[in-house]
Structure 1
Amino acid sequence: MIKRRLTLALPALMLLASCALMQPDTRAPASDLPTSTVDSAWISPQWWAQFGDEQLNQLIAQARASNQNLAQAVARVAQARAALNINQSAQWPQLGVGADAGRQRVPPTASTTPGVYDSYQLAAQASWEIDVWGRLANLTEAARRDWLAAQYNQEAVRLSLDAEVAQTWFNLLSLDAQLSIASDTVQSRQQSLALQQKRFTGGLISELDVRQAEAELNTAQSTLPDIFTQRAATETALAILLGQTPAQISTIDSSRPTTLANIKPPLPIPAGLPADLLERRPDIQQAEAQLIAARARIEAARAAYFPQISLTGLFGLQSAAFGDLFTGAARTWSYAGNLTLPLFNGGLTAAQVNQARAVEQEALAAYRGSVQQAFGDVRNALVADQQGTLKTTAQAEKVKALTRQLHLANLRYDNGYSDYLDVLDTERSLFDARLSLVQARVAELNNRVALYKAVGGGWQAPAGLAAQH
């Protein structure tokens, strides 16, 4: 009875010891976080809708459905899930059915009963590695964390895609506005040149004024090709983000249902760092999952220092004559236990453990780097968002002042108080200021998008995913 109790107690003690010895640390590393934070409840899950542009809403929906980078991320999730299933299957007994038939000649030199022998067998076979030290369990845990990391990567790719589509769309509307300003300026310069030519013909002005007007027209016309080229490149970039086919990309329609002037930045957002930034950024969650996976692989590698225990069994039919194979007398069975203890392998196990630890150190540095990058992104985005609004306001006032200045310059020139050069200088300044105002407005929109992206957008880990993590 005592021997039986010891026999039952020994595996239990080994299992408890393995649980205490081989479980990876699943805690995230401590970080020195700022104390001045704000609630992130202001972030809408569909933050792009706050710009009030239905076309942008449709573009993001199309990109989410057809973008190829996102499709790759989705496929990586499926790969990681399959890898998890593979590792989980290794923890279960492996069952199979086998059949074989053979004939063998045994020579007199090898046996006292030489002759030709037949052999037939049909049997079910089973094998099972008893995971006493947690090798298989830790490999499964590592695969599960890889699967979580792949899901977080998918969310990070989706977040970047949303932001890139929004910024590319705003850039495209900005180029439309710049093209409109440049075209209007060219038309205005053509009218000015025609007027100056009439005045020159009438002897009211010198040829110098005509040539100055002609040069300004050429300058305005020279801006058009660059804007057209930039707009075409931006249209192509947007089409690729949307996952359009090559045929669609080659026949892009440049007409758009909205303009930059119709899009306004959402209301100002509270200054400060979101208190739950570490949970909001999927890239940080991905780095944490990869770190825990690396820790689990350390424990799996350490398990190689301990004995590997496995059980095998067979039950079936075996006979020297095929006609007797399915009789009761042909039944056969066997079972066995196997214990393998590594004694010397040239330092292989130690090297594998050291390799796993080095991978864990790399993952730890990557996690800390992602946290640092996240808070740096938020700080930069907050400053850019605040300063961008001030710049747009100042640039709008500059355009307003130059518009008034041009009116006064024309009055002075028409009444003979100044030469035409003052008018041209003011027109040139106003043209540049109007283009700069458009650029400031699109920068303000893009800065807001960058801020939404920096704080993780409206992303929140789904309940099931958060529970698994």
Structure 2
Amino acid sequence: MSRPALSLITAALLLGGCTLAPDYRQPDSPVPATVGDAAAGADAVMLPGWQAMFPDPHLRQLITTALNNNRDLRLALLDVAEARAQYRIEGAALLPSISANADGTRQRLPADLSRTGDSTVQSQYGVNVGVASYELDLFGRVRSLKQSALESYLATEEARRSAHITLVAEVANAYLTLMADRESLRISRETLAAQQESVDLVQGRFDLGLGSELDLRQAQAALETARASQARFQRRVDADRNALAVLVGAPLPPLPGEDLDDPAVATLPDVPAGLPSSVLRLRPDIAGAEHALRAANANIGAARAAFFPRISLTGSAGSASAELSGLFESGSKAWSFSPSLSLPIFSGGRNRANLDVAEVRRDQNVARYEQAIQTAFQEVADALAARDSLSREEQAQSALVSATERSLTLAEARYREGADDYLAVLDARRNLLDARQQRVAVTLDKLTNRITLYRALGGGEQARDATLIGEVAAPRRDTPRG
């Protein structure tokens, strides 16, 4: 290749950082500065990773298995690999593609086509190293496309992280739901056993002529109701196990007989009520939306560059000879250099329309980014608002269980003494069953609320034990411009 050609390529490689993309500016946050009770806020919050978030070893084992086997997460990882490869493809366009070629040709010409009037056999052999149609990125078109591919890759990585967090939260919620329904099943079994004792008691009183047949039939009806309730909760437990097995992606190991009141299940870390809304920017969906916005911003640079000339270089250097043995002899040197210039003059408005599309897509991504922040703010605010009320509701429900237990004891004593009919016992037992089941539901809501808050704040980093979510990293510098 000639020295001028090499000089042009070298100069092009040195023109790094030139782009016509507009300066990126992070949109202003469309939500208040704080989320929750500002008076209780903190400048920084340590949100534990999922290993520390869930102290129950059985739950941690299930989450680990799910992260290894879940098909949705596997697809997310493959999407990341695809985006990474696409970024490498776009980045490769910034460098010339150099290839080595060797070719040979033997051709027989008939006599009527030969200048000498005799048939001839011609041979040509060549070996060369060349550059095929390398575009000088003087106006940053290729560089903008590379930047767009990079941001798309980073957005896909955030989608992978979001899928990771979602899977952890879904497994935890499914596990807690299974624990709650198993506790409800245990309560229904205890109720069935107590109701059977009541039937035996009423039957004995009826046989002695101390009770009415109405009392007996009411007790038997309550017994069958308890039996149906037990079957219903057994069906829910079986469905919970199936749902959890699908999330885990493998057969479930034997699970202990613990319930929601066990410390390993009920102890979930908490966060302060007041948080700076800047923590929301670290959620993977918001970070991904910003990367998508950056990609759209870079595409504007590629669309602008289409209005300017495109210079491409094609060249080769090597050896050529009519004889194979003469390829590397003196005088066989051969080279070619073919620059080309393409200047858009008239395209029917295509370039202007492409630029308009790129700018509209940038504006669409701004709206999506702001919408993601608003959704995140609402999710966190709702979770924080529900947390205190759920704790108070759980305390009230526990007090209600104690009161209804005492009411049942008194009703049963009055029935045995003949001071009241069996209807009072039925009402008291029904109220106790409802209170116990409702306490299980409220406890489940309280625990799943913490998981919801954990997920809403963008927790679940697998690679570290804790994530500092209250301090937002400094804005990344954009690519230098020429």
Matched, 1:260 2:231: no
Shift of 1:266: 4.1
- d(CA) in 2 for partners of 1:322, 1:207: 116
The whole-number CA distance in structure 2 between the counterparts of 1:113 and 1:149 is 69
CA-to-aligned-CA distance 1:186-216 (integer Å, 9 cap, x gap): 1111111122112211111111111101000
**Relative to 1, partners in 2 of residues 1:181 and 1:299: Cα closer, same or farther, differing over 3 Å?**
same
Q: Give the Cα separation in 2 of the matches to 1:42 and 1:152.
A: 21
Question: How far apart are residue 253 of structure 1 and its match?
Answer: 5.8
Question: Does residue 241 of structure 1 match 2:247?
Answer: yes
* Alignment match, 2:148: 142
Instruction: Look up the SS of the partner of 1:126 in the other structure.
Output: strand
2:190 corresponds to which residue? 184
C-alpha displacement of 1:464: 11
Give deviations 1:127-165, integer Å, cap 9, x for gaps.
Answer: 432100001111111111111112211111111111111
Give, as a single letter, the amino acid of the residue that structure 2 aligns with 1:152: E
1:416 maps to what in 2?
Answer: 418
Query: What do residues 168-201 of structure 1 show as CA deviations (whole Å, max 9, x unaligned)?
Result: 1111100110000001111111111122112211
Name 2:32's counterpart in structure 1. Answer: 34
Q: Equivalents in 2 of 1:158, 1:139: separation in Å? A: 29
* Residues in 2 aligned to 1:71 and 1:48: alpha-carbon distance in whole angstroms: 20
- 1:57-78 Cα deviation digits (max 9, x unpaired): 2222222232222222222221
The structure with more helix, counted as a fraction of residues = 1
Q: What's the counterpart of residue 125 of structure 1?
A: 130
Q: Any idea what the Cα deviations from partners look like across 1:361-390, whole Å, max 9, x if unmatched? A: 222221111011010111111112122111
The structural deviation recorded for 1:458 is: 5.6
Do the aligned residues in 2 keep the contact of 1:24 with 1:292 (CA within 8 Å)? no
For residue 428 of structure 2, what is the aligned residue in structure 1?
Answer: 426
In structure 2, what is the equivalent of residue 95 of structure 1?
98
Paired residues for 1:94-113 under 5 Å: 94-104=97-107
2:209 is equivalent to residue 206 of structure 1: no
Report if the CA contact (8 A) 2:165-2:458 is conserved. yes
Q: By how many angstroms is 1:418 displaced?
A: 1.0
TM-score (norm 1): 0.88
Name which of 441, 450, 453 aligns with 1:451: 453
TM-score (normalizing by structure 2): 0.86
Cα separation, partners in 2 of 1:425 and 1:395, compared to 1, 3 Å: same
Task: Indicate the residue corresponding to 2:69 in structure 1.
Answer: 66
Letter in 2 for 1:215: A
CA contact (8 A) 2:383 2:453 kept: yes
Residue ranges of structure 1 left out of the alignment (5+ in a row):
none
Structure 1 residues 292-326: Cα deviation after superposition (integer angstroms, max 9, x where no partner): 00111121122111111122221112223334334
Structure 2 CA distance for partners of 1:39 and 1:189, relative to 1, 3 Å:
same
The secondary structure found in structure 2 opposite 1:276 is helix
Residue in 2 that maps onto 1:277: 279
What displacement does 1:454 show? 1.1
Cα displacement string for residues 235-266 of structure 1 (whole angstroms, at most 9, x for unaligned residues): 1221122221xxx3xxx566425221103344
Give 3-state SS (helix, strand or coil) of 1:333's partner.
strand
Q: Which residue does 2:57 correspond to in 1?
A: 54
RMSD: 3.0
Aligned to 1:391: 393
**AA aligned opposite 1:219:** T
Cα deviation, residue 47, structure 1:
5.2
Deviation at 1:416, TM superposition (A): 1.5
**1:43 Cα shift?**
3.5
Distance verdict in 2 for CA 1:239–1:89, change over 3 Å: same
**What pairs with 1:341-356 in structure 2 (closer than 5 Å)?**
341-356=343-358
Which of 78, 83, 90 pairs up with 2:81?
Answer: 78
Tell me how far apart the structure 2 counterparts of residues 326 and 268 of structure 1 sit (CA, whole Å).
77
Aligned-residue sequence identity (percent) comes to: 37
Partner of 2:166: 160
Residues 50 and 168 in structure 2, CA contact (< 8 A), matched pair in contact too: no
Distance 1:28 1:236 in 2: 44
Counterpart of 2:299 in structure 1: which amino acid?
Answer: R
How far apart, in 1, do the equivalents of 2:473 and 2:92 lie? Answer: 22
For 2:219, give the aligned amino acid.
Answer: A
Is there any run of 5+ residues in structure 2 with no aligned partner, and where?
Answer: 462-466
**Secondary structure of 1:120's partner?**
strand
2:441 is matched with 439
Q: Contact 1:103–1:119 at 8 Å: present in 2 too? A: yes
CA drift of 1:465 comes to 12
Q: Measure, in 2, the Cα distance between the counterparts of 1:279 and 1:424.
A: 55
Provide the C-alpha distance between the structure 1 equivalents of 2:309 and 2:113, rounded to a whole number of angstroms.
Answer: 37
Instruction: Give a deviation string over 1:429-464, Cα, whole Å, max 9, x none.
Output: 111111111111111100111111111226549999
Query: Structure 2 residue aligned with 1:44, among 43, 47, 59?
Result: 47
Pick the aligned partner of 1:293 from 281, 286, 295. Answer: 295
Amino acid aligned to 1:74: L
In the alignment, the residues of structure 1 paired with residue 397 and residue 410 of structure 2 have an alpha-carbon distance, to the nearest angstrom, of 20
CA distance in 2, matches of 1:102, 1:146: 47
Deviation digits for residues 372-418 of structure 1 (CA, Å, limit 9, x no counterpart)? 10101111111121221111111111111111111111121111211
Deviation at 1:108, TM superposition (A): 9.1
Cα distance change on mapping 1:456 and 1:83 into 2, 3 Å: same
1:300 and 1:94 map into 2 onto residues whose CA distance is 21
> Secondary structure at 2:266's aligned position in 1?
coil
Structure-2 separation of matches of 1:353 and 1:106:
54
Deviation at 1:107, TM superposition (A): 8.0
For this pair of structures, how many residues does the alignment match? 453
Q: C-alpha separation between the residues in 2 aligned to 1:173 and 1:254?
A: 13
C-alpha distance in 1, partners of 2:269/2:227? 38
1:221 to 208, 227, 252: 227
Which residue does 2:464 correspond to in 1? none
Greater Cα shift, 55-64 or 263-272: 263-272
